[in-house]
Structure 1
Amino acid sequence: MFLIGPALLEVSAHRILHRLHETHGAPALAAAAEIPVLSAALDQHAAAVRDILRHGVPGASKVPSAVLLAGYARGLLDQVRETNAAERDIDDPSGAPTMRGNAPRNLFGWAEADWAQLRLAGVCLHAMRQPA
């Protein structure tokens, strides 16, 4: 029997990862082609994401990797939103994190990217390395 719930969850996860790739993954990889130290940092973040999901999530082998990655990314985006709101003493009235998550907009921005930006790009890199 085919269950629609898990299928929808996986479709939603792929959408989240696709949007994240547009805002963080592709721009970070383009910048990494010009900045070798950024390439190394992205590799380290992707490896950390892999290890967290493999060893830090009970029952991870029973959940599609896209769902795990999207959940992890949403958690990071929530943290970015909360941190930004606390720093500005405001909050997004919708309460929903954006996919942009303060992603750098150019090569120089990626050269000075913070931990969260690099980790979100690392999520994308890890997702790209997963078998389809």
Structure 2
Amino acid sequence: MLRGLFAKCPLSRLSHDFGQFGLLGAHATPGLTAELDQHAAAVRDAIEHGGARISRQSLTHYLHGFLDGCRERGWFSAAIEYEWELLRLLAICRMAKEYGFVR
């Protein structure tokens, strides 16, 4: 993936891009599915702790904040395995699909 790709993508574009790579498909291992479930729970907790409900707007707002934090830390993934940042992004995208915010 190109550096900076995530920082400029809205929720639907990011979800589409991950879908193109097959990372959101049904072929996920049980271990990866469990990790994504844990990240999704953390995202839900963070949004709800702030007093909001899960909506397209609140999830997009969380995504932008998360990406800003990644940019500030200079995060760039060149790893072969899933890093926690990538897992969090995948969980956000999976949530967007599950809640019907993106196709």
Q: TM-score, normalised by structure 1?
A: 0.57
List gaps (5 residues or longer) in structure 1.
Answer: 1-14, 86-100
> Which of residues 2, 24, 29 is equivalent to 2:24?
29
Counterpart contact for 1:17–1:70, Cα < 8 Å: yes
Structure showing greater radius of gyration is 1
Corresponding residue number in structure 2 for 1:49: 43
Q: Distance in 1 between matches of 2:64 and 2:78?
A: 14
Whichever residue aligns with residue 61 of structure 2, its letter is: G
Whichever residue aligns with residue 30 of structure 2, its letter is: P
Whichever residue aligns with residue 72 of structure 2, its letter is: E
Deviations 1:65-110 (A, max 9, x none): 111111111111111111117xxxxxxxxxxxxxxx7497xxxx3x
Question: Identity across aligned pairs (percent)?
Answer: 38
Aligned length: 91
Corresponding residue number in structure 1 for 2:94: 125
Counterpart contact for 1:33–1:39, Cα < 8 Å: no
Deviations 1:47-77 (A, max 9, x none): 22122212x112x14xx71111111111111
Corresponding residue number in structure 1 for 2:64: 74
* Root mean square deviation, CA, Å: 2.7
Which 4+ stretches in 1 moved above 3 angstroms?
Answer: 101-104
Aligned-residue offset at 1:22: 2.4
List gaps (5 residues or longer) in structure 2.
Answer: 1-8
Aligned-residue offset at 1:28: 2.5
Q: Distance in 1 between matches of 2:65 and 2:73?
A: 12
